[in-house]
Amino acid sequence: MGADKSLITSHAVSKKEGSVITSQTTGAALKREAEGRSRTGAPGAGSGGSSAAAGVDSPYIQIDRALKRCQYSQDALIEILHTAQETFGYLSEDTMTYIAHELKLPLSWVYGVTSFYHHFNLKPQGEHSCNICMGTACFVKRAGEIVETLEREFQVKAGETTADGKFSINIVRCLGNCGLAPMVIMDGKVHARQTSESMLEECRKVLKG
C-alpha cells in the first residue's frame, strides 16, 4: 500500500503569456506552505480561502492530531477524511494529497474512497444540501425526475451550488435502502419514497427556514 512520496503530487496548472506552467507539490511541501501561511496570516491551503490569523496553528493541525491519534494507520483513512471535511467543509485536492502523503497511500486510492462514499464532498457545499440517490432501484422509480425538477426550480446543475451559496444538489451512489426508493437525503435527514413534487416542496420549506 505504501507509495513513493515523490509520486503523490498535486498538479496546479496556470497559463501566463500563452505558456503553461505546471507545479508539483508534495504533501510535505503543502504542510510547509500551510505553516508558512499560518505565520503570515495568508489563506490556508485547502481551506476554501479562509484566512488564518498570524501566529495560529497550521490549517492542517486538526488532521495532524487525528493522524497521531490513529498512529498513522492506513486503516484509519475514512476517519481522517471525516476530520478533514469537518475542518474545511469539503475535501480539496491539496487536502487529499496531504492525507495520502501522511498515510503513505496512492492519491488515487484516497480519491477512490472519497468519490465512492456519498458522505464526502469534493467541492464547497451550500448552506443546505440535497443528495439524491441514483442507484438502480431509485433510478427505475424515477429519481432522475427529482433531479431535473430541482435543477429547473433552483437554476443549478447537480454537483453544483447556487450562486448565493444556499443550496447544493448532489447525485450519489446507491444508499443501500432500495426498499425506500426513490430516496433523498436533505441536510442529513432521510426522505423515503419521494416524488418530484414532494421533494420540491420539502426543499422550498427548508430554504425558507
Among all chains, which residue has been given the C-alpha cell 501522511? 102
Confidence band, pLDDT 50/70/90 cuts, at residue 86: confident
Per-residue pLDDT tens over the stretch 139-180: 999 999 999 999 999 999 999 999 999 999 999 888 888 999
Cα angle vertex 83, ends 82, 84, to 5°? Answer: 90
Q: What percent of the chain has pLDDT over 90?
A: 56
**pLDDT value at residue 85:** 86
Tell me the one-letter amino acid at 126. Answer: G
Domain ranges in the chain?
5-116, 128-208
Mean pLDDT of the chain: 79
DSSP codes, 62-125: HHHHHHHHTTT-GGGHHHHHHHHHHHHSS--HHHHHHHHHHHT--HHHHHHHHHHSTT--SS--
Q: How far apart are CA 143 and CA 10, in angstroms?
A: 35
Q: How far apart are CA 70 and CA 40, in angstroms?
A: 30
Among all chains, which residue has been given the C-alpha cell 499560518? 38
Of 34, 36, 53, 32, residue with least CA distance to 44 = 34
**pLDDT value at residue 101:** 95
Per-residue pLDDT tens over the stretch 114-140: 988 878 988 889 999 999 999 999 999
The total number of residues shown for the chain amounts to 209
CA atoms within 13 A on the CB side of 190: 11
pTM check: above 0.85:
no
Note the CATH architecture for domain 128-208: 3-Layer(aba) Sandwich (3.40)
Q: What are phi and psi of 89, to 5 degrees?
A: 95, -20
Q: What are phi and psi of 191, to 5 degrees?
A: -120, 115
Confidence band, pLDDT 50/70/90 cuts, at residue 1: very low
